[in-house]
Each structure stands twice: as C-alpha cells, then as structure tokens.
Amino acid sequence: MEPKSILIADDERHILNVLSIKLRNAGFSVIAAEDGAEAYSLAQSARPEVIIADYQMPLLSGVEVCSKLWADPQTRHIPVVLLTARGFSLSEGDRALGNIKRVIDKPFSPREVLACIHGLLAEVAVRGH
Amino acid sequence: MIGLAKTGADHLPGSSFLQWAELWSGLGLWLSLWDERGNCVEQAGTGERFWNALAQHSKQYRNRLQQTARAAPQTGPVTTELDPGSGLVVIAVPVTRGRRVVGSLLACGLSPEFSDQEVLARFCDLHEFDRLLCAGLAADTPRHGLETLRAYAAILRHQVDSWSAGALARWDIEGLSAELAQAYEELNLIYRVSADMTVSKRPVAYFEKLGAELLAATVVESLATVLEPPPRVTAESAVVMTGPLEAGREEVLRLYDQAHHHGRNAGASLVVNDAAASPEFSWAAHWLQRFVFFELSRNEQRFGGILAVNRSDGQDFGSEEIQLINSMAQRSAAFLENVRLYDDLEQLFMGMLHALVSSIDAKDPYTCGHSQRVAWLSRHIAGLAGVPDGLSQRVYLGGLLHDIGKIGVSESVLGKTGRLTPAEFEEMKRHPEIGARILESVPQVGDLIPSVLHHHERVDGRGYPAGLAGEDVPFLGRIVCLADSVDAMTTSRTYREARTLPWAAAEIRRCSGSQFDPALADLLLQDDLEGVVRKMARSGRRGPMRA
C-alpha cells in the first residue's frame, strides 16, 4: 500500500529534519516546504493527507495558508496542525477556520505530534473521506 | 557484466554514481563501484560494448578488478595498468566516510599502446578474447595518454570526495535530528510533570503520572517509587509501580531497602547493570536484569526512592536516561518536601485551633466538646445542602470558632447556674461581636467571620447582634445557628437536662421559618436525626445526656 503523504512546512530546517525523520520512520512519505507560499503551492499540487505547518513563516503565515486552503473546495478537507511559539494563542477569527484541527506549542514532543497525526487520520477514515 | 552484490550501502554513492558513469563514458572511461569487501555494487550501463563484452567474457579481468578494488588505499587515486603492458589502465579512487575507507570507485580506460598489435595480442591471449572481435569492439573507444589519465584521476577523486563530504553531513544531520527529537521529548516531559507539582496533588497520583511520562519518553521498561511515611507516623510505605514489572510489593520494598543501604557516594545514584551476577541482588534475578536507584531526599529528610527497572532494549543503563530521571527525582524531592511542610502546617493550625477552642469550652463543664460538635454538625448540614468538600471544611472551621468570643465574657456569667439576669444576658450577647473582632486581625480566617458574628441571628429578624432577616443572614450564620441549637437541645445545661430526640425534632420543626432557615431545617429533619446526634457525640466529648 502506498504510504500516506504528509506536508511539513517550517522555515527552520532543523524542525523539518526532526519531523521528517520521525514521520518517515513511522512509514509516512514526507514533503517539505520552507515558506508559506511553497507550502500552499505544494498542498495544492501534492494533496497531502495531513499538513503540519509553523505559524511564523516567510511569505505566508501558517494561518494565511490555512485560510487559502479552507477557501478552496479542493483542499478544504485537509486537516492542519499548527506549530506555535509557547504561550501564543490564535485569534477568534483564526480559530473559526475549520481546517485547523490542533495547535501544538514548540518545542513539541515528536511523539505527541505523531500521535496527533494518527488521530487525525483515524478521524478522516471514520468520516469516510 | 559483473555480477552485482546487494548491500544496504547508503554509505556508497548510488544515483550519483550512475550520473558519473554516464558523464565519463563520453570520454571512453568505464566506471564500477565496489564495497570494502571487494564486491561490485554498481557498474556503468550497457552502452559500453567493449567494456561489457570484456567483463562478460573474461574471468581474469573480473578478478583483477576485484583485486584492485580490495587493495584501494586510503590515499588515492592510483593509476596503474591492470596488467603490465596490457594497454588497459585502471584508476582506483577510495570512497571514504570520515577516516574509514568504505569502498572504491574504479575507472577503466585504454592507453594508446592498446592499438599496438603486440599489446593487443598479449591482451587477448591473457583474457582469452578473440583478437578480431576485440579490435572491432575497441575501435570507437578513445585512447588516453598517462598524463591525461592522471588528470582524470584527480577529477574523479574530487567528485568522490565531494560526495563523501555531503554524505557525512547528511549522516550528521540525521544523528543530530534524532538527538534533538529526544531533547524535545525530555523538555516536554519536564514541562508536563512540573505543571503537576501543586501541593494539593497527592504524592501517589503525582508519581503515577511521573512514571507514565518517564516510561513513554525513555527506554526504561518499568518504574517503582517507594514513599515512606513522615517521621512519627505509623503507616506503611506507599509503592507506586508503572510498567510490566513482575515483582510484588514486598519484593520491591526489599530491593528498595537494599539499594538504600548500599554504600555509595552521597548524591550519586546506584547503578547495577547485571543483577544476576551480583550476590546481593541475584535473589531477584527472575524479574530483575538491571536497575538504577535514585534517592528522594532533601535537607537530610528522606522521603523514599525511585527504582528504574530494566530497559526495553536490553542494554545497560547509560548516563542519558540516568541524568533525566535524576533531575526529575530531585524536583520531585523538593515537591515532597513542600507537601510535607504544607501538611505539617495544616496539622499545626488545626491542632492550635482545637486547643484554643477546647480551653474556652472547658470553662463550663457542660459545654465541654460543644464547639467540636457544632463544627461537625455544621459541616454535616453543609454537606446535606450540597456544599462541595473544600468549602465544607471551611464551614467546619467556622463552627469550631463560633463561640470564640466567649473569652471576653466574664467567668461568673459563663459559669452561672440558673437563669441570667438581663444585664448578664446583655454581656453574653456581646460574644458574637467580640469573636468577630478577634478574627478580623487574622486574614486567613476572614471568611469565617459570618459564622461567629451571625450565629445568633434569626431568619425572622429577631436575633442579635444586627437583627438581620431571611436571606440577609449569611449562609454560614444560618448553618451554625441550627447546629448550635441542636447541640444545645441534646446536651444538658446548667439550668436543665438534655432534651429527648423526639422533643428536639419537634422543636426544630416548630422553629423552622422563625429561628431556623426552613430549607436547612427540612434537610436535617429528613436525615437520620438519631444517627446524626450519635455521630456528633463522638466528635466532641459531651456532658450528661438523656436519650
């Protein structure tokens, strides 16, 4: 069976490295983006199962990427996990975006992120997408 | 073609090699890639008619290549004739990872000598190759002089070295990323566990959580925490176990005892990596392979210890997990010290309060234990009214302190047998206000003032000191008022004997709505009054009572 693909987006390469090793070891295929614009474009072309995106990124922020993906019927179903600096919280408007499923503080526990991904994929399976 | 060996060789260039092979074939060089044991793992593609035919045909050629690959020195490249005078030159470039040679790249080329008939003849004899066929196949293959080949060797060396440096860097990044991921896990563990260190959290629950977190974040297989009771308290030690540990409570306690008394440097943790081999611990060998013991102590107080038992990967315990658990053990010891201090303070506070209140009650033998009983009953009534546990404890304290103002009433009035004169009664009526004034100077009991000040108010407004009515009487005051009266009814006084229970119940009903809050009176009447009064008696030694 083809491995499920996950898009990870962060301008900090060491975060991309940590995440991609953890995800690859868990059997996923990983696509990486280093800024918001690349993330948006890859999300459209590759249609990953799940997206993990940093909040702070050049060109487009994590929330702006979510907003654009939510507005597009082809991509609005893709669940997104946002990574943010500790102590940060989303605005009311941000939280209204239905594709943001989870917000995780940095430094994150890689184990927790992986568990979150599995949970989201299970939810999608149950919903029958 | 040379038979290829299958290796998991990520330390040898795979796709890069194929690109190089194509580039160099344009110059007539044939590339092959070999591992450190001299197995061929890659070779240039099928476009090379001469080279492929040679490899296919000549065992001698294949063997010589293999020998050259095996002999590739650390410092290359080496450019030599495959066989002396054969006109076939091979360049050998070592592939390194750091200081280690992990394989070699061979590039075969033809020198101008190859066109010489004699050389060709010798070559074909050696390799049992048909001369005409050989010459035909090699016709299009360019020849290169030794100087040129040496120049090519340098370029090949550079290509391989660049690739090796890149591979090493990628290897470093993977290693670093794995370390970073582990560091993130540990940080998160510390954040989560620290958030749990509130004094209201009971130690057993805290260590259950700590155990679960440590097992999830490290390679430790099981964790057992032993918590000793505080000094001068007779109780059993608590043992918290997490993980697939196949030991019973007694076995864990025995190991704890041994570990605790084992001689070692102060502050160091005890590490035993082979329990079966040590005479001291081999008794436990059926469930114990290895363990580390961390003391939980601080400022010369001993709280217990943590035992990390067995590793899920079967390896020895190392400094990484020892450091993490040690650091958590120290934080936990500080937490336990705080819990103990807090518990001590609470005990001290309650002890002092009881002593103070008893000294006031003791002035009148008939009111001995009165405040304790009112405290108990007040808390009980609060429970019936749905007050949550934390608050009902405050109600208890309020009941305990309600008559504290009596310390300002003269003993002659307090101890008088028979009825009080109006003047004496006025003096007695001051005790709520006196009590409230005493408590005002202690901010921590400020919330209890209503029970002291208003326990003689009546819901019909005919009480004292303020004549408040209905809902204006604070809730605490209404509760203590009822509890106070019930105790007064069911104990003997200076001026009368104790009332019977039916009498008391009737009186409560009669005064419901006037003296007592009707809702609270109802709750008490619907409860088991006899049982309540009996339990109340146990909470404070009473004077003579009539059943």
B20: domain CATH number is: 3.30.450
Residues B407 and B496 in one domain: yes
* Cβ pair B177:A111 closer than 8 A: no
pLDDT at residue B469, as a whole number: 92
Residues B420 and B483 in one domain: yes
Compute the average pLDDT of residues B132-140. 85
Q: Among the listed ranges A6-10, A89-93, B179-183, B428-432, which one has the minimum average pLDDT value?
A: A89-93
Which residues form the domain of B54? 15-169
Q: Is B543's pLDDT higher than 50?
A: no
pLDDT at residue B367, as a whole number: 74
Residues B330 and B374 in one domain: no
Does A119 lie at the interface with B, CB-CB under 8 angstroms? no
Place B252 in a pLDDT band, splitting at 50, 70 and 90: very high
Tell which of B170, B180, B190, B215 to mutate to test the A interface (max A CBs under 10 Å).
B180
Provide the CB-side half-sphere exposure for B29 (13 A, CA).
27
Residues B309 and B390 in one domain: no
Q: Is A129's pLDDT higher than 60?
A: no
Of the candidates B173, B180, B185, which has its C-beta nearest A111's C-beta? B185
Tell which of B184, B191, B192 to mutate to test the A interface (max A CBs under 10 Å).
B184
The pair of structure tokens assigned to B164 is 């090796």
Beta strand A80-85 pairing with A50-54:
parallel
Distance CA B402, CA B397 (A): 9
Residues B243 and B210 in one domain: yes
Tell me whether residue B177 is in a domain: no
* Cβ pair A111:B178 closer than 8 A: no
Tell me whether residue B545 is in a domain: no
Residues B377 and B518 in one domain: yes
* Cβ pair B189:A109 closer than 8 A: yes
Of the candidates B173, B174, B184, which has its C-beta nearest A109's C-beta? B184
* Cβ pair A21:B181 closer than 8 A: yes
Q: Is B266's pLDDT higher than 90?
A: no
pLDDT tens-digit profile of B24-39? 988 889 999 988 888 8
- Taking CB atoms and an 8 Å cutoff, what residues of chain A touch B177? 14, 17-18, 21
Tell me whether residue B445 is in a domain: yes
Tell me whether residue B346 is in a domain: no
pLDDT at residue B359, as a whole number: 84
Compute the average pLDDT of residues B319-343. 89
What is the average pLDDT score of chain B? Answer: 87
Residues B381 and B272 in one domain: no
User: To the nearest whole angstrom, how far is the Cα of B164 from the nearest Cα of chain A?
Assistant: 20
- Taking CB atoms and an 8 Å cutoff, what residues of chain A touch B216? 111
Q: Is B546's pLDDT higher than 50?
A: no
Distance CA B6, CA B16 (A): 17
Instruction: Give the number of domains in chain B.
Output: 3
Of the candidates B176, B177, B188, which has its C-beta nearest A109's C-beta? B188
Residues B209 and B275 in one domain: yes
Q: Is B334's pLDDT higher than 60?
A: yes
pLDDT at residue B538, as a whole number: 84
Q: Is B73's pLDDT higher than 60?
A: yes
Residues B140 and B278 in one domain: no
- Taking CB atoms and an 8 Å cutoff, what residues of chain B touch A17? 173-174, 176-177, 180
Tell me whether residue B61 is in a domain: yes
Residues B492 and B436 in one domain: yes
pLDDT at residue B242, as a whole number: 94
Are B45 and B21 spatial neighbours (Cβ–Cβ below 8 Å)?
yes
Place B55 in a pLDDT band, splitting at 50, 70 and 90: confident
Residue B317 neighbours by CB under 8 Å, 6+ apart: B271, B273, B290, B291, B292, B308, B311
Tell me whether residue B127 is in a domain: yes
Question: What architecture does CATH give domain A5-127?
Answer: 3-Layer(aba) Sandwich (3.40)
Of the candidates B174, B185, B189, which has its C-beta nearest A110's C-beta? B185
Q: Among the listed ranges B78-92, B324-338, B352-366, B418-432, which one has the minimum average pLDDT value?
A: B352-366
Does A17 lie at the interface with B, CB-CB under 8 angstroms? yes
* Cβ pair B181:A14 closer than 8 A: no
Place B294 in a pLDDT band, splitting at 50, 70 and 90: very high
ipTM of the complex as predicted: 0.83
Burial, B263: exposed, middle or buried (Cβ in 10 Å; 0-12, 13-18, 19+)?
exposed
Residues B156 and B212 in one domain: no
